């Protein structure tokens, strides 16, 4: 996975002020739906790891468990930033309709 950030994208997003309340709400919904999908993927990866029998090359200790949890969390965040499973996008579309109807 390539986690490099293009500075032009960051700078262009930072210079565009979001003043409209509806646009702020939609941006907040987008971020929340991506975070929800990342949380769901994290829990799914944890459950998948529990189903694998223990044993193998490395001993199981606290540091290994912490590293695997952190790895699962970052993998889920990276996956949800893209298209992911589509759950976050479906949530966004459903909630965005409510924001559009509200205003």
In a domain, 32, yes or no: yes
DSSP state of 83: T
Quote the mean pLDDT of the chain.
82
How far is the C-alpha of 11 from the C-alpha of 7, rounded, in Å? 6
CA torsion angle 72 51 85 75 (round to 10): 10
Q: Tens of pLDDT along 49-71?
A: 889 887 777 777 888 889 989 99
Task: State the total domains in the chain.
Answer: 1
How far is the C-alpha of 88 from the C-alpha of 77, rounded, in Å? 12
More confident residue, 13 or 29: 29
In a domain, 79, yes or no: yes
* pLDDT score for 18: 46
In a domain, 63, yes or no: yes
In a domain, 5, yes or no: no
In a domain, 3, yes or no: no
Q: Tens of pLDDT along 2-26?
A: 566 666 665 555 555 545 888 888 8
In a domain, 83, yes or no: yes
In a domain, 60, yes or no: yes
Structural domain span for residue 36: 18-102
Residue 16: alpha-carbon gap to chain centroid: 23
């Amino acid at each position: 996975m390539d986690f490099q950030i293009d500075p032009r994208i960051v700078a262009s997003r930072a210079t565009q002020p979001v003043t409209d309340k509806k646009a702020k709400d939609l941006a907040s919904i987008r971020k929340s739906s991506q975070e929800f999908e990342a949380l769901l993927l994290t829990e799914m990866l944890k459950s998948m790891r529990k189903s694998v029998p223990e044993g193998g090359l490395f001993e199981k200790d606290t540091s290994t468990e912490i590293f695997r949890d952190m790895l699962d969390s970052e993998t889920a965040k990276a996956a949800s930033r893209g298209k992911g499973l589509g759950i976050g996008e479906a949530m966004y579309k459903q909630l965005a309709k409510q924001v559009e109807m509200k205003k």
